Structure 1
């Protein structure tokens, strides 16, 4: 199978340590993180993705907000500047250890953090990257 992932979640997964919006969200994210860790392909999408799934039953899921769409745009832009072959919507991506390491280095230095401005998880992710990504669920390899 392929994991459907929106662009800003490419950044979120770099610092994922098992915390989330709810128990259902975290359990779902843990399962997705395990699949990513096993090398499953990612499909970059422009809508709520597999990580968003547990939130879509909410009365007003934030996954549809303009601010989230803007996070996706900024994440694609920043990752495009970082990578020789930037991710494109509708494209399959394999998150191998080399790419994961490169993305984490850029994240830690702030090169790919524009999408993170105003996010409620910003402080947590900043601390995780400052700590060398200790405790992340998806290892660099």
Structure 2
């Protein structure tokens, strides 16, 4: 199987440590993180993805907001530069050890965080990055 992700969720995965919007959201995210940690491939999609799924029944899910789409554009651009490959709808990739470490190093130094501006989770992600990504769900294999 393949995990369907929107581009900015590639950044969120770097610091995901079991916290989320609701218990159902967190349980779903835990399952996705486990699949990726086991080496499952990722397919880049436009709009809501597998992580968004538990939120789509909300009255006004933020997954469709223009600000979230802009996060995707910025994340795709910056990740594409870092990984030297296009990150766009239909791109398939896996988070192998070297790429994951490069992404985390860039995230920690701030060069991969433009998409994170204004995100409510930014302080938590900064704290996790400053603590050498200790306790994250997807370790550097």
Mapped partners of 2:83, 2:104: distance in 1: 12
Q: Could you list the runs of 4 or more consecutive aligned residues of structure 1 that deviate by over 2 angstroms after TM superposition?
A: none
Mapped partners of 1:80, 1:137: distance in 2: 23
RMSD: 0.7
**2:41 equivalent in structure 1:** 41
Shift of 1:85: 1.7
Q: What is the DSSP-based 3-state SS (H/G/I as helix, E as strand, rest coil) of the residue aligned with 2:15? A: coil
* CA distances 1:20-40 after superposition (whole Å, capped 9, x unpaired): 000000000000000000000
Task: Tell me the matched-pair count.
Answer: 141
Task: State whether residues 77 and 87 of structure 2, in contact with CA within 8 Å, keep that contact through their aligned partners in structure 1.
Answer: no
Mapped partners of 1:86, 1:99: distance in 2: 14
**2:139 equivalent in structure 1:** 139
TM-score by length of 1: 0.98
Q: What is the DSSP-based 3-state SS (H/G/I as helix, E as strand, rest coil) of the residue aligned with 1:3? A: strand
* CA distances 1:35-56 after superposition (whole Å, capped 9, x unpaired): 0000000000011000000000
Aligned 1:1-141 pairs, distance under 5 A = 1-141=1-141
Structure 1, unmatched stretches of 5+, are none
